[in-house]
Structure 1
């Protein structure tokens, strides 16, 4: 693993891309410190507390996404999910409407779908089909994001583009996925 991009340097990736940002999410749970209180509120059914925390803690991300999508840029994600859903997936499903309200297009791909076996085993962001930000996590049971390894090697970028295309082709839009 090379030097990882973190913090403000990582967030700058979302202000510097020109056309598209795509994320492939493969984990059943992410344990970011900034999410712990919101996740606990969700699990305990404290809807008012969850709404309050979302307004406080998600503002910066929503501002970044709103700025990007208002400028005509696309922000897309495919979340590979295990069915039946665990608590964390139910939590993210409940929050996705907020992401959609600022222009993110988030879709779901059930883990049992045959196309999933051809995907990589890591999460990544792909910017403008030219820069990959491979995400590294603390796998000591925490699943906390450590940072992103930036990859610009053409053959590796093309491979990530192919994975994006395959995942996107079979993924189900959020509104359709949550109808059932």
Structure 2
């Protein structure tokens, strides 16, 4: 059973996890990105204005410097959407904080039967599923600690990591 949590509770998970935080990103774009100045800069110039001093980057850097692991796999369409192109560029910022950022073509994600939902796994014991609207707005976050559910998501993480490519190698490859 999943329980909804507030945005504040979700944000706190990134400060209080003990060992690992991992994200599967499956959306073709995110409304929150489109509302950001760095996204607008990317659309105009082809490069974003990422800021390592923002609250997100400062916290993730603090966590990885402390020895905690943070990672993500982004599922990418072929050809990538504008939102995905932004995230492919933004991976440089994620990596600068110490994140292990990888990408996986959507066709490969489908082949290994990855789900289409976005989620974060914290310490392999809590899963936060991100629920989005049709327009890519985050509607709510639902968490579960039920062992069988958490194990299912951990298995998805393992499959995604097995087939995903580090962001810098992925960016250097031509599309499929």
CA distance in 2, matches of 1:19, 1:102: 16
Structure 2: how far apart are the matches of 1:147 and 1:6?
A: 8
State the TM-score, normalized to the length of structure 1.
0.87
Contact 2:112 2:159 in 1 (8 A): no
Q: Paired residue for 1:131?
A: 126
1:157 to 150, 154, 160: 150
Unaligned runs of 5+ in 2: none
Deviation at 1:2, TM superposition (A): 5.8
Q: CA RMSD in A?
A: 2.1
1:55 aligns with 2:51: yes
CA distance in 2, matches of 1:166, 1:46: 32
TM-score norm. by structure 2 comes to: 0.89
Seen in structure 2, the aligned counterparts of structure 1 residues 153 and 3 have a Cα distance that, compared at 3 Å, is closer
Is 1:45 aligned to residue 38 of structure 2? no
8 Å Cα contact 2:33-2:39 kept in structure 1: no
- 1:55–1:125 distance in 2 versus 1, CA, 3 Å: same
Aligned residue number for residue 94 of structure 1: 89
Q: 1:70-149 maps to which residues of 2 (within 5 A)?
A: 70-113=65-108, 116-139=111-134, 142-149=135-142
Cα-to-partner distance string for 1:3-47 (whole Å, 9 max, x where unaligned): 532332111101111111110011111111774433222112175
In 1, the alpha carbon distance for the partners of 2:93 and 2:37 equals 17
**Per-residue displacement from partner, 1:93-122 (whole Å, max 9, x unpaired)?**
111111101101110010111655511221
